[in-house]
Homo-oligomer: A and B are copies of this chain.
Amino acid sequence: MLTLKEIGEFGLIDLIKKKFTPYGSDTIVGIDDDCAVVTGRDGFYTLYTCDSQVEGSHFITDLVPPYLLGQKILAVNLSDIAAMGGTPRFALLSLVLRSEISIEWIDTFLEGFRYKANQYAIEVIGGNLARTDSGLVIDVTCIGEVRRNRLLLRNQARVGDMILVTGFLGDAAAGLKILLEEQKMNTAREQYLLNRYLLPEPRIEVGKILAESKNRIALIDISDGFAQDLGHLLKQSRVGAIIDPERIPLSQQLVSWCSEQNYTPLDFASSGGEDYELIFTTAPENIDELRDKIQNDVGVPVTLIGEIINGDKLIFQKNEIRYEFQTRGWNHFTSS
């Protein structure tokens, strides 16, 4: 009997897409992007996204402080709103909890959630409570909006576009490793990496700058890993890409920690999940202005790392070494 493990996450997504298409005229984007997009109030589209944090898969109650978990579950959703150039407005919070959980844990979780909601002026307007005798599940639906002529999609990359990323890649995956291996966290280096995993900062302001620029831009956030998420953008745009691996932005903390641990930083940066940075593509003439504006207004570095090419391959190339990258990002059902 065929199981989910065998068809994997993307097999299941294909199955779901087939069942629930086509859409009506009020649905601008369905399952194909970071958010669903439907007709909203006058002049706006409404954006919908949802994301779960599952005990045992995404967090371990003994290892992840609930105050940080509360912030993270909302941040993860906000990253999807950012990836459409949108502004978050509302959230629904669905909690599946054991009866034995302490009110202190719940209250601290809710305080973290509220902190992040207040930071982005998001109203928590509803949700659901349910009981479980097994693992906790926290499911958040986030509702955002974007002006109709400012929506940014994954499918807008064209041959000759430059490929840029925000921030540094791979830190979160290193942070997770440090957490799971219960490595010493008493240095600023480990704390930085751990915080990048536990406290991702959604790039809402960057998404807005890109949307307001009125340039043709393809945009996606990095949740499953750089190579895999860039792959989604390429597939939706029906193009390929060539990346200079030496240009992929790495934090000095990641480089230093990898050196000590005998890891290759690029493995974390290309395949590690949960960076929640943005990848965008645009015509070469736009990049200086966009990069300056993002760096000046938001303080987030923006790095040019490659170019959109014909075809359907994601190629990493440096000097004479050229290889097609094997996407190894997180597949929720087949990874061990």
Contacts and interface: CB of A to CB of B under 8 A. Distances in A.
A58 interface: yes
A319 interface: no
Given A19-B110, A125-B31, A135-B133, A333 B48 contact: no
A4 B2 CA distance: 39
Contacts of A139: 50, 52, 94, 96, 128, 137, 139
The range of chain A's interface size is 35 or more
- Shortest 6 CB-CB contacts between residues of A and residues of B: A134-B134, A36-B126, A134-B135, A36-B125, A20-B124, A5-B99
Contacts of A285: none
A51 B128 contact: yes
19 contacts: A1-B102, A2-B102, A3-B99, A4-B98, A16-B124, A16-B127, A20-B124, A24-B123, A30-B126, A36-B90, A38-B143, A40-B40, A50-B139, A54-B137, A56-B134, A57-B133, A99-B333, A133-B135, A134-B134
A100 B202 CA distance: 33
Contacts of A54: 96, 130-132, 137
Given A20-B114, A52-B96, A137-B139, A2 B103 contact: yes
Contacts of A100: 3-5
A95 B31 CA distance: 14
* Interface of chain A, main secondary structure: mixed
A200 B114 CA distance: 35
Interface in A111-170: 111, 114, 117, 123-135, 137, 139, 141, 143
Contacts of A334: 99
Given A42-B41, A128-B51, A130-B54, A333 B7 contact: no
A207 B80 CA distance: 34
Interface in A1-48: 1-7, 9, 12-13, 15-16, 19-20, 23-24, 26-27, 29-31, 35-36, 38-42, 46, 48
B57 A127 contact: no
B7 A103 contact: yes
B26 A126 contact: no
Given A42-B42, A97-B333, A101-B3, A132 B137 contact: yes
A122 to B, nearest CB: 10
A137 B19 CA distance: 20
Nearest to A42: B42
Contacts of A40: 40-41
Contact of A56 (B9, B15, B132, B333): B132
A104 interface: yes
Nearest to A46: B46
A161 B23 CA distance: 43
